[in-house]
Amino acid sequence: MAYNRIDRAAAEALEAAVGADNFQIGDQIGADMSHDERSLYGTAAPEAVVYPRSTEQVSAVLRICSERSIPVTPRGAGTGLAGGAVPVEGGVVLSTERMNAILGIDETNLYADVQPGLRLSELCEAAAARSLRYCPDPGERSATVGGNAATNAGGPCADRYGSTRENVIGLTAVLAGGEVIELGGVRKSSSGYALMQLLIGSEGTLAVITRLRLRLRPAPAQRLGFIFPFGSLDECVAAALALRASGLEPETLDFADRDMVNFSAAVSGNESFPQDAAAVLLAEFGVTGEAAAELLMERIAELSEELGALDVLVVDEPNVARSVAEAHAALHSSVEAVTRRFDESNAAVPPGELAGYVEFLHELGAAKGLTVRVFGHAGDGNVHAYVYNDALSDSAFAAAAGEFMDENYARCRALGGTVSAEHGIGLGKRKYLAESCGEAQLRLMRAIKAAFDPQGILNPGKIF
């Protein structure tokens, strides 16, 4: 596609569309707008940034840009991990950060109407104040709900409650030419193609989301957690899957192997997870009422023996729960704390394949001269794998990490898995999506892109 630069007339039109206070150009633009949280996958500066405050302003911006073939990259909080918000073709970054209102919380119908720039933390707090909750709960709470929808973000509860897609009831979006569409609105629909679901996870390449109706659920009175140490990762995964099939309906089933547990405990100083076991499982349940809590404890005590757990630690006291939550967060943050540069994959494989896949990743890392740290969500087979080696030069690391990722994704594909379970494809995973989808699916995706955005102005260079 051939794009135009932002000339004086375009700049004036954009400024008039959003107002001078909501427009930046040239050196008024901060460096943050050139990258997201994973600048390893690339950085690029926009020519202008707009901060619209309404659907109408988003529509006006897109009309101006489509008339002039100027690329537009939507941006939420920039916490993405795939390079999705990087404006690789320059043009306009359309930041939703000033469209951040809660428009209403309907406690009868159990949903929240919100603007896309609302931070996830603010939605969760507003829901909790009404004894409600927003279940997908991805790990980075400073992300926007619009970014969550655009990446189909998921969290540890995804197996039980779905990722973002399963928790959006309706949305408003602006098409590339400025036309506004309303999609969904009720929980049940069998009416034509699922365009709303298609926009969720489209990473800003098909439309700009300007309003969301998000499903809320009643919050349980109490959250009960259990930590089970195991003698092997095989037993740990098998136990997680047995718990999932037990009817007890765990909300999370997170596992980490000894290597990860010991490493993150050493980095964070938090020893909440037992360190002498080959693998550890953290299972959490939402319960309401004393009787339900007691019944759950009894069933877990029986099951833990049957499942071969070496022990079972109950996480019920608030201070223990806080410490365990911090230990869990350290699984994410400890790699970042020790290395200046790392790459990661966030693939998912069928849950029954988890133990073999994790073993494969460790062997592969050793063969490529990379340190590998792994943990994941057993219920949906989602594995976070980090690789690093600060002794290598940037080019040597890029080569080793590239070989690691090639073989990692090839194995994932062979196991029937998916390239990205949570973070999207963005810039960083395009090659692997193309390899895993095959030509027919890519052709369909390109045709969908062309139908929504014939000039290709929306977030060019992403996904494929």
Distance CA 347, CA 329 (A): 19
| CB of 1 closer than 8 Å to CB of 455 | yes
Stretch near ligand FAD under the rule CB under 6 A, chosen from 145-153, 253-261, 289-297, 349-357: 145-153
Shortest spacing between CB 395 and ligand FAD, in angstroms: 26
Stretch near ligand FAD under the rule CB under 6 A, chosen from 247-255, 289-297, 406-414, 421-429: 421-429
- Does 147 bind ligand FAD (CB under 6 A)? Our answer is yes
Closest by Cα among 433, 339, 327, 434 to 386: 339
Stretch near ligand FAD under the rule CB under 6 A, chosen from 79-87, 241-249, 258-266, 291-299: 79-87
Stretch near ligand FAD under the rule CB under 6 A, chosen from 126-134, 146-154, 288-296, 393-401: 146-154
Distance CA 128, CA 375 (A): 28
Using DSSP, state whether 384 is helix, strand or coil: strand
Using DSSP, state whether 226 is helix, strand or coil: strand
Site for ligand FAD in 179-218 (CB under 6 A): 203-204, 208-209
**Binder of ligand FAD out of 55, 96, 389, 436 (CB under 6 A):** 96
Distance CA 366, CA 404 (A): 10
Shortest spacing between CB 312 and ligand FAD, in angstroms: 26
- Does 365 bind ligand FAD (CB under 6 A)? Our answer is no
Stretch near ligand FAD under the rule CB under 6 A, chosen from 152-160, 182-190, 224-232, 316-324: 152-160
Shortest spacing between CB 98 and ligand FAD, in angstroms: 12
- Does 381 bind ligand FAD (CB under 6 A)? Our answer is no
**Binder of ligand FAD out of 55, 59, 100, 144 (CB under 6 A):** 144
In the chain, DSSP finds a helix count (H) and a strand count (E) of 14, 18
Distance CA 324, CA 409 (A): 31
Please list, in sequence order, all residues whose beta carbon lies within 8 angstroms of the beta carbon of residue 374, skipping any fewer than 6 positions away.
256, 257, 259, 260, 358, 361, 362, 383, 384, 385, 386
| CB of 182 closer than 8 Å to CB of 196 | no
Shortest spacing between CB 58 and ligand FAD, in angstroms: 9
Site for ligand FAD in 100-119 (CB under 6 A): 116
Nearer of residues 229 and 250 to ligand FAD, judged by Cβ? 250
**Binder of ligand FAD out of 46, 78, 250, 365 (CB under 6 A):** 78
For 102-162, strand residue ranges (E) read 102-106, 111-114, 132-133
| CB of 308 closer than 8 Å to CB of 231 | yes
* Residue 410: its H or E element: helix 394-414
Site for ligand FAD in 316-335 (CB under 6 A): 332
How many residues contact ligand FAD, by CB under 6 A?
Answer: 37
Contact map string, positions 33 to 52, toward ligand FAD, x by CB under 6 A: ---xx---------------
- Does 155 bind ligand FAD (CB under 6 A)? Our answer is yes
Using DSSP, state whether 139 is helix, strand or coil: coil
| CB of 423 closer than 8 Å to CB of 81 | yes
Nearer of residues 146 and 229 to ligand FAD, judged by Cβ? 146
Nearer of residues 235 and 422 to ligand FAD, judged by Cβ? 422
Nearer of residues 140 and 343 to ligand FAD, judged by Cβ? 140
Shortest spacing between CB 197 and ligand FAD, in angstroms: 14
Please list, in sequence order, all residues whose beta carbon lies within 8 angstroms of the beta carbon of residue 89, skipping any fewer than 6 positions away.
3, 44, 71, 460, 461
Taking CA atoms, 169 is separated from 54, 110, 185, 421, 457, in Å, by 20, 10, 5, 21, 27
- Does 73 bind ligand FAD (CB under 6 A)? Our answer is yes
Shortest spacing between CB 204 and ligand FAD, in angstroms: 3
Which residues contact ligand FAD by CB under 6 A?
36-37, 73-81, 84-85, 96, 116, 138-140, 143-144, 146-148, 150-151, 153-155, 203-204, 208-209, 332, 422-423, 426, 459
